[in-house]
Amino acid sequence: AQKVTQAQTEISVVEKEDVTLDCVYETRDTTYYLFWYKQPPSGELVFLIRRNSFDEQNEISGRYSWNFQKSTSSFNFTITASQVVDSAVYFCALSEAEGNNRLAFGKGNQVVVIP
Amino acid sequence: DAGVTQSPTHLIKTRGQHVTLRCSPISGHKSVSWYQQVLGQGPQFIFQYYEKEERGRGNFPDRFSARQFPNYSSELNVNALLLGDSALYLCASSLGPWTTSTDTQYFGPGTRLTVL
């Protein structure tokens, strides 16, 4: 069964600081997909980044970067030079490769960026 | 291009009533999934439909049902509402029936259901 754990609940940072969100996942599949979504107060889940289990390198997309460590089953996400608009709840999610596209979500991290 | 749309935005019902929530996927997407998000938690998978067939079902009672229409839009129905059904109901669409290296689920704005 797929499972995602986000340990921290609320994180406060001062604007322009970096913030890193931790995600640990469990799966028995060898092929799987990991995602980070952002949920602002409006409620809509916004797709940010994804990582396939078979990808070789970690990447950077603008102010977002992610660190995938298969050995520790972790998929951490960093926002560089945080802005007030980054204040939201961030969810890590896992999808396994077979049958359907069910996403298993963690409980989320509330990020508060203080001006 | 329009994203995933959901209606209504908000809904208030009383216990025992029935509710129907609607979702229209992104143009070209054939898969629709439904998730329930209670306050303070991550979304929980309810159903996935692809080409009008149910592809997956989460751990929800039979009071929850869904269907998908030929135009790929979808309805989620909940019968005999309980207080615990109060939540944000999110719809997501994607191209195909399962996650691939390029296929990602995109979410709508949600329907906030309050059961009194």
**Integer Cα distance of B56 and B24 in angstroms:** 19
Question: What is the percent of chain B with per-residue pLDDT over 90, rounded to a whole number?
Answer: 91
**Integer Cα distance of B7 and A3 in angstroms:** 30
* pLDDT value of residue B1: 65
* pLDDT value of residue B62: 96
Is the backbone peptide bond immediately before B8 cis, with ω within 30 degrees of 0?
Answer: yes
* pLDDT value of residue B99: 84
Window 30-49 of A, Cβ < 8 Å to B: 33, 35, 37, 42-47
* pLDDT value of residue A1: 74
* pLDDT value of residue B98: 84
Q: Is the pLDDT of residue A61 over 90?
A: no
**pLDDT tens string B63-101:** 999 999 999 999 999 999 999 999 999 999 999 888 888
Interface test with B, best of A46, A49, A101 (most B CBs within 10 A): A101
Average of per-residue pLDDT values in chain A: 92
Q: Which residues contact A11 (CB under 8 A, 6 or more apart)?
A: A19, A21, A109, A110, A111, A112
Residue B61 CA: distances (Å) to CA of A20, B39, B52: 37, 20, 21
Q: Which residues contact A71 (CB under 8 A, 6 or more apart)?
A: none
* pLDDT value of residue A57: 74
Average pLDDT in the B22-40 region?
96
Q: Do A101 and B33 touch (CB under 8 A)?
A: yes
**pLDDT tens string A11-43:** 999 999 999 999 999 999 999 999 999 999 989
Bridge partners of residue B91, in order along the sequence: B34
